[in-house]
């Protein structure tokens, strides 16, 4: 009997000692804050001070709206033997937009943390506003939708309002759930919850509204996708290529185009996109342009159309590029080989260069381009007009001093003029000087 009693006592003592050591070892497994409760209510424009103590080095995680320059941190070693780490966070003045979760955590063990939610309250500003004044929310049918109209005090009563609707929706825990730190959660949103919304609170008899929320329901339904050609495309080297990829989607659908083709990485291609709204659907266009085709551009061209992570479509076409040797070029002037007519004529590649253009250079010029191997020929005729400044023939042979003629005699004056285009001749009379008479 005594033996069993001794064993029971020893086991009890052993359990007590080890249990005490275990509790001591678990202390400060997460940092400790000097705040009682899970939230703290602080009037606006006052100073927020939080103290944190832990076993390892500490750091703070702050709400996004709190700028680093407005926060002071005081790090120190603490405890009876300095074996602990202490950190004091000071934020002042605290503003409404600073409302949020302040967390103290171990620097090397970020998962071990302790936090407090701070409401920076102001009777004139019951809502924590964003920076833009309008936030776009994306809704998926069948999944919860959060309207993030957070408030600055946990006791504020809030309703959800849709523009154009007189009904103010209040939380019922079946379809609409309220959380002062998150806002409204619509558990099973339907088409009613698309459009423009805001939250409203009545403070001291005065209605106050939150920022606006545009709820958009993305649609990922590609009805059809096709190219502007159904068979292989044949082009000559150096020609321009335009491929038009068209996608048809439901309203609210947004699509992305991705082109894959042989010379994509080193090509001078360009892409133009546009969207057209039809009566029953949306049309999306992507035009791929290659200004000058090369032999390396031949091959399979693929247009991938995607919308979200589900809807996909793919269309393909084969491009064939023919490469010909440089054609033979001959220039004719008035039916004769131009280069043989005058030394001032010179053919440079496919161009005819005329030096010191003169009147006799006017006429019809024909460029003959041919590829004898493939039997391809083409001619182009141009007309060159050389403008010539008008000249008076008599001026070149007449003395500058007028010859005397008998008084009362009849004289015939001649004017012979030449120019291109043909000049107009006008006669003017200027009296001779009196010579002092």
Which among 300, 299, 297, 301 is positioned nearest to 238, based on CA atoms? 297
pLDDT tens for each residue of 380-428: 999 999 988 888 877 767 666 667 888 888 888 788 888 888 888 888 8
Contact 148, 158 (CB under 8 A): no
Q: What is the pLDDT of residue 428?
A: 85
Q: What is the pLDDT of residue 131?
A: 66
pLDDT tens for each residue of 125-157: 999 987 677 899 988 877 999 999 999 999 999
Hey, which of 65-79, 368-382, 406-420 has the most confident mean pLDDT? 65-79
**In the predicted model, what is the mean pLDDT of residues 24-43?**
86
**Which pairing describes strands 158-162 and 168-169: parallel, antiparallel, or unpaired?**
antiparallel
Q: What is the pLDDT of residue 393?
A: 75
Which among 90, 88, 94 is positioned nearest to 42, based on CA atoms? 94
The rounded mean pLDDT for the chain is: 87
The band of 1, judged by pLDDT with boundaries at 50, 70 and 90, is very low
Q: In the chain, what are the domains?
A: 32-121 (2.60.40.10), 134-216 (2.60.40.10), 223-322 (2.60.40.10), 328-384 (2.60.40.10)
Q: For the whole model, what pTM was predicted?
A: 0.53
Which among 327, 354, 329 is positioned nearest to 341, based on CA atoms? 354
- pLDDT over threshold 90, residue 433: no
Contact 268, 236 (CB under 8 A): no
Q: What is the pLDDT of residue 284?
A: 95
Distances (CA, A) of 299 to 235, 255, 262, 263, 271: 12, 25, 6, 9, 19
């Amino acid at each position: 009997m005594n033996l069993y009693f001794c064993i029971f006592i020893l086991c009890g003592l052993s359990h007590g000692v080890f249990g005490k050591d275990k509790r001591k070892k678990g202390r400060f497994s997460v940092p400790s804050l000097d705040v009682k409760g899970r939230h703290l209510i602080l009037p606006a424009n006052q100073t927020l001070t939080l103290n944190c103590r832990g076993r390892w080095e500490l750091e703070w995680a702050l709400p996004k709206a709190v700028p680093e320059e407005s926060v002071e941190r005081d790090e120190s070693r603490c405890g009876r033997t300095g074996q602990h780490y202490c950190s004091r966070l000071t934020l002042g003045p605290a503003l409404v937009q600073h409302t949020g979760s302040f967390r103290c955590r171990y620097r090397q063990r970020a998962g071990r943390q302790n936090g407090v939610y701070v409401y920076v309250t102001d009777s004139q500003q019951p809502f924590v506003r964003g920076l833009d004044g309008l936030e776009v929310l994306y809704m998926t049918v069948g999944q919860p939708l959060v309207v993030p109209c957070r408030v600055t005090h946990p006791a504020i009563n809030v309703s959800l309002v849709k523009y154009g609707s007189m009904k103010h929706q209040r939380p019922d825990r079946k379809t609409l759930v309220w959380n002062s730190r998150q806002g409204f959660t619509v558990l099973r949103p339907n088409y009613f919850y698309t459009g423009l919304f805001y939250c409203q609170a009545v403070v001291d008899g005065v209605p106050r509204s939150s920022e606006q929320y545009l709820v958009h329901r993305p649609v990922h339904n590609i009805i059809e996708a096709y190219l502007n050609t159904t068979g292989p495309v044949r082009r000559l080297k150096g020609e321009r290529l335009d491929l038009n990829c068209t996608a048809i989607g439901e309203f609210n659908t947004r699509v992305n185009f991705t082109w894959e083709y042989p010379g994509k990485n080193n090509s001078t291609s360009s892409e133009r996109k546009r969207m057209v709204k039809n009566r029953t659907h949306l049309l999306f266009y992507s035009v791929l342009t290659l200004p000058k085709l090369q032999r390396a551009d031949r091959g399979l061209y693929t247009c991938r159309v995607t919308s979200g992570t589900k809807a996909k479509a793919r269309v393909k076409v084969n491009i064939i590029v023919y490469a010909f040797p440089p054609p033979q070029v001959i220039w004719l002037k008035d039916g004769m080989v131009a280069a043989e007519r005058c030394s001032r004529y010179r053919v440079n590649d496919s161009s005819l260069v005329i030096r010191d253009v003169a009147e006799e250079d006017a006429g019809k010029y024909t460029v003959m381009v041919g590829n004898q191997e493939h039997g391809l020929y083409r001619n182009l005729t141009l007309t060159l007009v050389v403008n010539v400044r008008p000249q008076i023939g008599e001026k070149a042979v007449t003395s500058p001093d007028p010859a005397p003629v008998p008084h009362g005699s009849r004289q015939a004056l001649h004017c012979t003029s030449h120019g291109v285009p043909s000049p107009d001749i006008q006669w003017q009379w200027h009296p001779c000087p009196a010579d002092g008479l």
